[in-house]
Structure 1
Amino acid sequence: MTKTITFNELRRIKDCLPDGSMHRIADELNVTVQTVRNYFGGNNYEYGKNCGLHIEPGPDGGIVVLDNTTIYDMAMSILQEENSMAEEK
């Protein structure tokens, strides 16, 4: 399933993730941490792979088409966990 969002929205999601989230996602998917970083707009392909991220010029940093939403879905689950824990306090 594909998803289309803005680049700035993708970066906001990354910036809201708690410390260790990149490692957690990488470990669960058996990929390198750099591959997860590349998914969120990084560009180090020497140590990481491209995970189906396509950026087109446009407003709000450009339009991003995610061919595979697995990392995005995991990031959103982590953010929901964080929100739930914050509400319980």
Structure 2
Amino acid sequence: MTKTITFNELRRIKDSLPDGSMHRIADELNVTTQTVRNYFGGSNYSFGKNCGLHIEPGPDGGIVVLDNTQIYDMAIRILEEENKK
């Protein structure tokens, strides 16, 4: 399932995550922490992979098409957990 959001919204989600979330997501999905960072707009592909993120120029930082929403879904779940606290 794909999801389309703006790049700025993706960065807002990343910036809202509590400390340790990148490691938690990486551990649970069995990927490197840098792969998770790359998903949120990083670009260090020496230590991480591209996880199906495509950025097209446009308003609000551009349009992001997420081919794989596992990392996104987990980030949203973590934010929902934090909001319940």
Aligned partners of 2:13, 2:33: CA distance in 1, in Å? 16
> How far did 1:72 drift?
0.2
Summarize deviations over 1:1-34 as a string: whole Å, max 9, x none: 0000000000000000000000000000010000
Give the TM-score taking structure 1 as reference length.
Answer: 0.95
**1:5-84 equivalences in 2 (<5 Å):** 5-84=5-84
Give the TM-score taking structure 2 as reference length.
Answer: 1.00
The runs of 4+ residues in structure 1 deviating greater than 3 Å are: none
Amino acid in the other structure paired with 2:76: M
Amino acid in the other structure paired with 2:34: Q
User: Highest CA radius of gyration, 1 or 2?
Assistant: 1
Q: Percent identity?
A: 87
Aligned partners of 1:77, 1:9: CA distance in 2, in Å? 16
In structure 1, list runs of 5 or more residues that go unmatched.
none
In structure 2, list runs of 5 or more residues that go unmatched.
none
> How far did 1:83 drift?
0.1
- CA RMSD in angstroms comes to 0.2
> How far did 1:36 drift?
0.1
Aligned partners of 2:5, 2:56: CA distance in 1, in Å? 11
In the alignment of these two chains, the number of paired residues is: 85
